Amino acid sequence: MSAVQVSFDALANHIVAAGGKIGPSELHGFICGLLAAGARPDQARWKKEVAEFLDLDALPADLTRDSLALVERSKQDLSDKSFIFQPLLSSSDELAERGQTLCLWCEGFLHGFGIGKYSGELLPTSSEALKDFAEIAQLDAASLENGAEQERELFEVQEYVRMAALNIFVECNPPSSHGENDKPAGPTLH
């Protein structure tokens, strides 16, 4: 059974309504970074981590439902052998907004990967991808203007991020650690 798909706009609305300080792309990046690092918290721990990341005391019911659905969808998509994983980004017509959400996704991923405390030795490909994510997170996407050339360039960077995230997940998680019957890991994170 597949997890429920979470809409960027619906998640953004729930975060804003709760008073969260982080957008959907950065939250999704954070979740994917934690998963890539091998963290498998139980539901209560996920709620706590997401609330802390969004700078909230607690998660309202809608945001809890959406964030846990996003966790499940992300686990499934990152583990899927057909490479269906996609970062959760804005679908705005404005290239600058889409570029900004990609930068924020990378920032969230790096934060989540750091919090997840990956304990193995990173392969050079993963190490290089994390450095690239740090550079992408610092880009000034506000200067992007709608046009075919910049659209193509943003697509290429987005595709690189997508494949790099998948690669990091695969390299840092042996096949037995991301199967359907995930068991929560011991104490992790903060």
What SS3 class is residue 179?
coil
pLDDT score of 3: 55
92: left (phi over 0), alpha (psi -120 to 50) or beta: beta
Query: How many helices and strands in the chain, by DSSP H and E?
Result: 7, 0
C-alpha span between 13 and 149 (Å, rounded): 32
Residue range 151-162: average pLDDT? 94
- Backbone φ, ψ for residue 38 (5° rounding): 100, 0
Please report which confidence band the pLDDT of residue 131 belongs to, taking 50, 70 and 90 as the band edges: very high
What SS3 class is residue 3?
coil
C-alpha span between 105 and 30 (Å, rounded): 8
Output the 3-class SS for 97-160.
Answer: HHHHHHHHHHHHHHHHHHHCCCCCCCCHHHHHHHHHHHHHHCCCHHHCCCCHHHHHHHHHHHHH
pTM of the full structure: 0.88
Our CA angle for 65, 66, 69, nearest 5°, is 85
Q: What percent of the chain has pLDDT over 70?
A: 90
Q: Which residues of 38-68 are buried (b: 16+ CB within 10 A; e: fewer)?
A: bbbbeeebbbbbbbebbebeebbeebbebbb
What SS3 class is residue 49?
helix
Taken in order of first residue, the domains within the chain and their CATH numbers are: 8-178 (1.20.120.740)
Please report which confidence band the pLDDT of residue 76 belongs to, taking 50, 70 and 90 as the band edges: very high
* Mean of pLDDT over the chain: 87
Taking only the tens place, the pLDDT of each residue in 93-126 is 888 899 999 999 999 999 999 999 898 899 999 9
pLDDT score of 182: 44
Taking only the tens place, the pLDDT of each residue in 10-69 is 999 999 999 998 999 999 999 999 999 998 888 888 999 999 999 999 899 999 999 999
